[in-house]
Amino acid sequence: MLASSETNPNAYWLNSRGMWAGYTASVIFLFILVNCIPVISIPVVWTLTHGIHNIGNYIMFHYLKGTPYATMDQGETSWMTNWEQIDNGEQFTPTRNFLTAFSILLFILAGFFTIQDTTLTAINIAIMLVGVVPKLPLFHGFRLSQLLSQSSDKEQ
């Protein structure tokens, strides 16, 4: 499939009209779906919603690389994660801010309902770190797999 425009279709949809509302609605739907399981308490429902969102977000934006389309950039984006492709790598754009703030908001909501349970609070903190730390500008272009392979090379 050949993309016919200059914009990267892999990241352009994030700037499309109604994306923020659709994204929010999908997370609300996820919360309702998890809440339908009768044996799970509300604090666990919020922790699961937070966890599913942030782990899915990590896989979708920070783990997967390249584009599913033949783009006009001559392979420049083939090594980049989806997060690095958003808004051509520009930091602190409205889309990036929305996605980062959404992960933090989910942490706050999950934290509000799990404040009495230190185990769930610790889990939510770990989940929040997985969802927010890779979005920081400091980690633009950073690959954990490269760091791990370099440390194993030094040991040998």
Number of H helices, E strands in the chain: 7, 0
Task: Give the total number of structural domains in the chain.
Answer: 1
Beta bridge partners of 12: none
76: containing domain: 9-155
7 has a pLDDT exceeding 70: no
Give a yes or no: residue 2 inside a domain: no
Give the model's confidence band at 4: pLDDT under 50 very low, under 70 low, under 90 confident, else very high.
very low
Give the model's confidence band at 14: pLDDT under 50 very low, under 70 low, under 90 confident, else very high.
confident
Distance separating the N- and C-terminal Cα atoms of the chain = 43
Beta bridge partners of 70: 2
Average confidence score pLDDT of the chain? 85
Give a yes or no: residue 3 inside a domain: no
Give a yes or no: residue 1 inside a domain: no
Q: Compute the CA torsion angle 95, 101, 103, 105 (nearest 10 deg).
A: -140
Give a yes or no: residue 99 inside a domain: yes
pLDDT, one tens digit per residue, over 131-153 is: 999 898 887 777 666 555 555 55
Which runs of E-coded beta strand occur in the chain? none
55 has a pLDDT exceeding 70: yes
pLDDT, one tens digit per residue, over 96-125 is: 999 999 999 999 999 999 999 999 999 999
Task: Tell me the C-alpha to C-alpha distance, in Å, between residue 24 and each of 21, 101, 105, 152.
Answer: 5, 12, 11, 41
Give dist(CA 68, CA 134) in Å, integer. Answer: 22
